[in-house]
Amino acid sequence: MIHANPPTDVRVAAVHEEQADCEDTSTAVVEALTGANSETIINNLAKFPHCLLLTRVGQFYESYFDQAVEISQMLNIKLTSRVFSRQRIHMCGFPLVHLHKHLKTLVQQKRCFVALCEEFIRPTPFGQKPTFERRVVRVITPGTLIDEPFLNQYENNYLLSIAPSPNQSPDVASAALPVGMAWIDVSTGEFFTRLTTADNLRDELVRIGPKEVVLPLDIKGDVSHPVFSPIAEEGCFVSHIEPTPASLHVSTPDATDFPDALFHGSEPEPSKTVVSLSAQETAAVELLTTYLHANLLENAPKLSTPSREETEARMQIDSHTIKALEIREGMREGGVTGSLLSVIKRTVTSGGTRLLARWLCSPSTSLLEIKSRQSLVSLFHSRVHLREDLVQLLHGNGDLTRVVQKFTLGRGDASDLLIISSTIAIWKTLKERINLERIMEAKERSEFIAEDWANLVALVGRLDSVEDLDVKIKSAIPVKDLVEDEEPTDEDGPDASALDNVDLNADFKLQNNLRFTVHPDFSEELTRLHQKLEELTLRKHEMEQMFKTAYSAPSLTLRSSLQHGVHVHIAKKRHASLVKASTASFVLIAESNSTASFFNGEWSRLGAQIAETVQELVYAEKHAFETLRSLVVSHEAVLRRNARIMDELDVALGFATLANEMQLVRPTLTEDLSFHVVNGRHPTVELGLLTSGRVFTPNTVYFSPDSRLHIITGPNMAGKSTLLRQTALIAILAQTGSFVPADSATMGVVDRLYSRVGAKDDLFRDRSTFMVEMLETSEILRRATSNSLVIMDEVGRGTTVKDGLAIAFATVHHLYSKNQCRTLFATHFHELTDMLGYTPDHKGEGLFKDIGFFCTDVDETEDGRFAYSHRLRPGVNRDSHGLKVAQLAGLPPEAVSVAQNALSWLKNNSGDSMFHRQRLKALGQSLASAELPGPAPS
């Protein structure tokens, strides 16, 4: 966290001295460090010592003192200096248009806090020099981004607060310590709470993926606290604050509040009862709201009732599994590349993509919810033309969740209003298209099944037309009159800063500077003022033409400027001479070699009337825009609900498109412990193979009550890990509502999904590969239930053969007898199959009679070539064919030859004495003597 350190002995100079070496600042900087403004800067540095302070001065943002050195280095901009109270201080700055580019560097990349001090023009009488007020309007942190253009539109930007129990009972283990969580995406307003434990915190961190974590100030530095370990392991950006209960401002629930689930036709309206939060959740909400008010300041949102996430309603996927299965991010390249999300994403809206990412990391366990989603996918999958039409409509659907949030935060502009209006029109068209399709199908199909449409009709039926808002916006902001701006210059309304600096030189400049966006007919006041301004402008033209004719001065124009006020400007010297000689009503106020400026009482009075009218228009338009903003906020709940319905439609349409493109089938979900996937495929691997012109080999997995744990043996590179992962991914896809890559699939709902796959170490925390493996294994054995799905690969391979075999057996025994969950256990320890009593009918024996045994093979030809079959079959494969992988990897032929000789001896001398020390010594000597010239060493 950055701390500002202005020198304590600095005195504010009365007048700022311009320096020739300051090339990067505007002329307005002379005023920036004088009088109260310099005091404002010093006060802001003291008030926000943990922030980098950026102060707006005209068209620049500037930094001073030691912070200027730091910022110039991070942004790679010029560092200059300035005399300040007879001392030279550091200073740097950059143009206003570069703000977002540099905020991305400072906040997202460097993880700094930035206090943004904006400039506001105070109302002043016409003709007087404007004065400025500067105040910090918000502190920008990684978790409090609102509408910055560098904000990723396809993912949520969550700020997460964590509130552990204040007093832990001595008899409660730290792992079981209750922990309250509250998280919000400030850019969308989505707000959630959940009660968890310190033991499960890491899983929640990975699932939510917060950009910033807020902890209570009283546990800062307490690294022994149980919440610190998972936060540190995930490398979360952490902030601390002292919670204040008075900051808890949560609005009352509304009938439009809804959980993170699809609206079912049979589901009742959401209740208006207040969500009952636990003490820890309440503390987390207080912590979150305190942090929001401390940093967003004038932009702090009024929070809606949070959606409480219930554990029972969602499949629990632990942190290792989310990463190992590459659900949201690829492990090799980072980001979404290579992830499940990137492969199955067919959504066309940013809101739909964010919802899809949440669903993949938190699939449903409700059969009603899953089947409702499936029915939508099935309907769109079988009606290609309807699907294509709806997808085309959704391409123009705006990100209403974020747009509405901007208005609730006191932001938003005319272009945002037009996005709302155009999106409302899309909703209406989309609803009409669906109704038309249903009516036509009922007429044309003799076997019309109304139940097929029930969920879609119920979902779309909840769409509110919001016609009153649409009509009001269209009457206020005509599309053809909207002028696009490169950069917003003020956050208080429609280009207010441009309206405060009025240039009366010419009509086109007047219009360009003012950029009125609200239609004159929006209110009687605006109509009256626009008519008045038009009349005064016409009088200005007539007066200007009269002066030109009367004094034979075609270069004469009527102008207004801060330097000369309302004046008459003449561009040619001879014309100016004629004016001076002809009348006394023109008083010379400035003259150059070619131009002259005069005061004229008649134009001065008219110019003052024009300026006053313009100022009235500015305030009237601001008032009109605030009326529109309030209207949008009053429709907030309905707009959010409609936007969420569009998100769910987008996901369902995307699933249907995916099913068509990748030949997916609708799975059958049950409440039992069945799991039967025929010819299942790994969606990511299959796409990679198809891209390279190869074909994926599918496999069947069948769990039954008398065979719920399978041992899988086989060679390296033969597809064991792929099989494990695809089984888990098929379960995830099925419970999000998607179709799955298989010929058919029937499975009981999975409550928890665990994996122990891949090899990695964590040397930073002094954890070897084997230690990481054991930590993940122990977590699975402690937490898996009978309804869980577990995939485990190569447990015990990180240590000696004897230790590893013992651990592998103990793990299988525990999963089989204690957890009793559906498990795929891949291993190279073929001795494990003997310990489990493998029999010729591919079952276990005795206590392990319900265990199934499957394997993969290598197909070899007489000329020594080989190929991996990748096809699973019942049985045990006692050859790992590791030397073949070594050959494929390019191991030198000499090394391969030695390895073959060693393997041959080990196979021929298997038995209790195989690993006798002296026998192994003799083996090593003989192998070496066969390779090296000369006599064998004794």
> Is residue 789 included in any domain, yes or no?
yes
Q: Which regions of 217-274 does DSSP assign to beta strands (E)?
A: 238-241
- Amino acid type, 15: V
| Three-class DSSP labels, 62-80 | EEECHHHHHHHHHHCCCCE
863 and 918 in a common domain: no
In 3D space, the residue among 131, 124, 13, 120 whose CA is nearest the CA of residue 64 turns out to be 13
Name the phi and psi angles at 546, rounded to 5. Answer: -65, -45
456 and 514 in a common domain: no
The residue among 74, 109, 140 that closes a domain is 140
791 and 714 in a common domain: yes
Half-sphere exposure for 642 (CA within 13 Å, toward CB): 26
CATH code of the domain in which 34 resides: 3.40.1170.10
> Is residue 622 included in any domain, yes or no?
yes
The residue among 81, 108, 140 that closes a domain is 140
CATH code of the domain in which 820 resides: 3.40.50.300
For the chain, helix (H) and strand (E) counts, in that order, are 30, 29
Domain count for the chain: 5
pLDDT at 9: 30
236 and 92 in a common domain: no
pLDDT at 846: 79
> What's the burial of 557, exposed, middle or buried (CB within 10 Å: 0-12/13-18/19+)?
middle
Angle between the N-to-C axes of helices 601-634 and 414-444, in degrees from 0 to 180, rounded to the nearest 10: 40
Q: How many CB atoms lie within 10 A of CB 124?
A: 12
805 and 710 in a common domain: yes
Angle between the N-to-C axes of helices 636-662 and 601-634, in degrees from 0 to 180, rounded to the nearest 10: 60
Task: Give the SS3 label for residue 838.
Answer: coil
685 and 624 in a common domain: no
Distance CA 581, CA 577 (A): 6
135 and 213 in a common domain: no
> Is residue 73 included in any domain, yes or no?
yes
Q: For residue 522, what are the contacts with CB-CB under 8 A and spacing of at least 6?
A: 475, 476, 624
> Is residue 108 included in any domain, yes or no?
yes
405 and 296 in a common domain: yes
- Amino acid type, 555: S
DSSP code for 252: P
> Is residue 483 included in any domain, yes or no?
no
Question: What is the distance, to the nearest Å, from the Cα of residue 341 to the centroid of all Cα atoms in its chain?
Answer: 13
In 3D space, the residue among 197, 205, 117 whose CA is nearest the CA of residue 160 turns out to be 205
283 and 252 in a common domain: yes
> Is residue 151 included in any domain, yes or no?
no
Distance CA 293, CA 603 (A): 50
Start-to-end Cα distance in the chain: 66
In 3D space, the residue among 696, 726, 712 whose CA is nearest the CA of residue 880 turns out to be 712
Half-sphere exposure for 160 (CA within 13 Å, toward CB): 25
> Is residue 862 included in any domain, yes or no?
yes
Structure tokens at 450: 């109304």
126 and 181 in a common domain: no
Q: pTM score, two decimals?
A: 0.84
pLDDT at 58: 86
687 and 647 in a common domain: no
> What's the burial of 692, exposed, middle or buried (CB within 10 Å: 0-12/13-18/19+)?
exposed
Q: Give the containing element (helix H, strand E) for 214.
A: strand 212-216
CATH code of the domain in which 227 resides: 1.10.1420.10
> Is residue 484 included in any domain, yes or no?
no
Half-sphere exposure for 499 (CA within 13 Å, toward CB): 23
Angle among Cα 698, 700, 701 to the nearest 5 degrees reads: 135
pLDDT along the chain (938 residues), means of 10: 33 27 37 56 91 93 94 95 81 94 94 93 66 89 93 93 73 73 94 91 92 93 86 91 66 42 40 66 93 90 82 88 91 79 96 96 95 96 95 94 92 91 94 93 80 91 91 82 43 37 36 67 91 93 91 88 84 80 82 86 91 89 92 94 96 97 96 95 92 91 90 84 95 97 97 85 60 88 94 85 87 92 92 87 84 85 68 85 73 78 73 59 66 39
pLDDT at 348: 96
Distance CA 145, CA 104 (A): 10
As beta bridge partners, residue 599 has 587
Name the phi and psi angles at 341, rounded to 5. Answer: -55, -45
Distance CA 466, CA 464 (A): 5
699 and 615 in a common domain: no
Structural domain for 550, as ranges: 496-634
